């Protein structure tokens, strides 16, 4: 496989340079996968708009989705990044492992979410009807379901980008399951 180059601030457009500056201010770095989006004039800005869009889901719920989808898609980059982010939103290392396996027995509502997302990700959107019912029974709304699909789509984008580029992971590796 060809080595996919990681753009630097010196090699990207002025618009992407400004985004790099904002990422450095907020994260202290420009993650390699974000930098890779900057090969395109518009992809990085478009992706960040999607990722940072308003949602009815909490930060913890979004991380459940990110971890489950990244595990289903076997994305080492996103698993590493979201293991860090999962800890930042309050999950323990043990809870992160459980979520990656597709459940959250420690929280009934998050468990319904994780199980639905795992089924949807494994079956290209065709989750088991009982899991959709359990999601609603856990107190989620139709609007929440739409937002779940948005986060699944967001994560598929980065999972696929990493799968196709294999840029180096610049987060601590996620533990193996």
Establish if 70 belongs to a structural domain: yes
Query: For the chain, what percent of residues have pLDDT higher than 70?
Result: 99
- What is the average pLDDT value for the chain, to the nearest integer? 97
Distance CA 170, CA 147 (A): 28
When pLDDT is averaged across residues 49-77 and rounded to a whole number, the result is 98
Asked if 116 and 147 count as a contact pair (C-beta separation under 8 A), the reply is: no
Query: For the chain, what percent of residues have pLDDT higher than 90?
Result: 98
Is residue 177 predicted with pLDDT exceeding 60?
A: yes
Establish if 172 belongs to a structural domain: no
Tokens 């309050």 — which residue? 90
Asked if 79 and 96 count as a contact pair (C-beta separation under 8 A), the reply is: no
- Domain around 30: 9-51
Q: Do 18 and 90 have their domain in common?
A: no
Q: Do 45 and 120 have their domain in common?
A: no
- Going by pLDDT thresholds of 50, 70 and 90, the confidence category of residue 71 is very high
Per-residue pLDDT at 3: 80
Is residue 82 predicted with pLDDT exceeding 80?
A: yes
pLDDT digits (tens, 9 = 90+) for 103-130: 999 999 999 999 999 999 999 999 999 9
Per-residue pLDDT at 1: 57
Establish if 24 belongs to a structural domain: yes
**How many domains, in total, are found in the chain?**
2
Tokens 């533990």 — which residue? 175
Distance CA 169, CA 78 (A): 9
Establish if 3 belongs to a structural domain: no
Q: Do 152 and 93 have their domain in common?
A: yes
Q: Do 47 and 92 have their domain in common?
A: no
Is residue 160 predicted with pLDDT exceeding 70?
A: yes
Distance CA 88, CA 136 (A): 27
Per-residue pLDDT at 77: 98
């Amino acid at each position: 496989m060809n080595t996919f180059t990681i753009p630097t601030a010196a090699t990207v457009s002025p618009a992407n340079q400004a985004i790099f500056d904002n990422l450095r201010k907020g994260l202290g770095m420009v993650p390699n996968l974000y930098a890779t989006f900057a090969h395109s004039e518009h992809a990085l800005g478009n992706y960040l708009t999607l990722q940072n869009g308003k949602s009815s889901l909490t930060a913890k719920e979004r991380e459940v989705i990110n971890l489950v989808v990244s595990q289903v898609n076997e994305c080492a980059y996103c698993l590493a990044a979201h293991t860090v982010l999962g800890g930042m939103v309050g999950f323990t290392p043990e809870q992160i492992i459980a979520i990656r396996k597709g459940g959250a027995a420690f929280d009934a509502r998050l468990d319904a979410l994780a199980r639905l997302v795992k089924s949807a990700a494994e079956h290209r959107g065709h989750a088991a009807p009982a899991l959709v019912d359990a999601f609603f029974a856990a107190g989620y709304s139709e609007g929440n379901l739409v937002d779940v699909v948005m986060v699944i789509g967001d994560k598929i984008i980065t999972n696929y980008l990493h799968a196709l580029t294999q840029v180096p992971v610049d987060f601590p590796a996620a533990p193996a399951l």
